[in-house]
Amino acid sequence: MATSAEAPTEQLEACSIQGTIVYTSEKNGSDENGDGSQEKPFQTPLQAYRQHGDNVTIYVDSKDEIKGRWELLSKAQAKKVKTRYEEEKRKEKAAAEREEKDRIQREENLKKAKEITITEDSSLPKAI
């Protein structure tokens, strides 16, 4: 029987899952200060995706302490988190494209504004 520290590694080899191994803990983790290690886990699986991308294996707090401290994130939950992560990426990409389009439009407006010159109409009497 493997110890709790070895269990995730053996589970990983048994399942032949690829990617960076990251740990998350809703109780002890921190998305701001965590690094995904066992000592400093992330709080949410979404943060693990943000930091390490798509190719990541996520372990969460085990519900059953007998099995060990960590267990592999369920497929259903992983699918939900990955979908949310991909949605965030799409929104960020769309926002970046929108920002670039707005920047180009501002530059064009500035060029047009520089071409405008204000002159006094000489056919009218002088202003007092």
Q: E strand or H helix at 45, and its extent?
A: helix 45-52
Report pLDDT for 18. Answer: 62
Average pLDDT over residues 66-72: 81
Q: Is the pLDDT of residue 2 over 70?
A: no
Whether the CA torsion 61, 63, 66, 72 is positive or negative: it is negative
Q: E strand or H helix at 22, and its extent?
A: strand 20-23
**Structure-token pair, residue 110:** 């500035």
Q: Is the pLDDT of residue 1 over 60?
A: no
- 8, 22 Cβ separation under 8 angstroms: no
The residue ranking higher by pLDDT, 36 or 98, is: 98
In the β-sheet with 20-23, what is the strand arrangement from edge to edge?
A: 20-23, 56-61, 70-72
How many contiguous H segments (helices) and E segments (strands) does the chain have? 3, 3
Domains in the chain, ordered, with CATH? 7-113 (3.30.1910.20)
Average pLDDT over residues 77-100: 94
Q: Calculate what percentage of the chain has a pLDDT beyond 90.
A: 31
For helices 45-52 and 75-115, angle between their N-to-C axes, nearest 10 degrees: 60
Q: Is the pLDDT of residue 91 over 60?
A: yes
Reduced to 3 states (helix: H, G, I; strand: E, B; else coil), residue 104 is helix
pTM attached to this predicted model: 0.65
Report pLDDT for 12. Answer: 45
- What pLDDT, in 10s, does the model give residues 16-31? 456 789 898 888 888 8
- 45, 82 Cβ separation under 8 angstroms: no
Least confident of 51-55, 63-67, 90-94, 105-109: 63-67
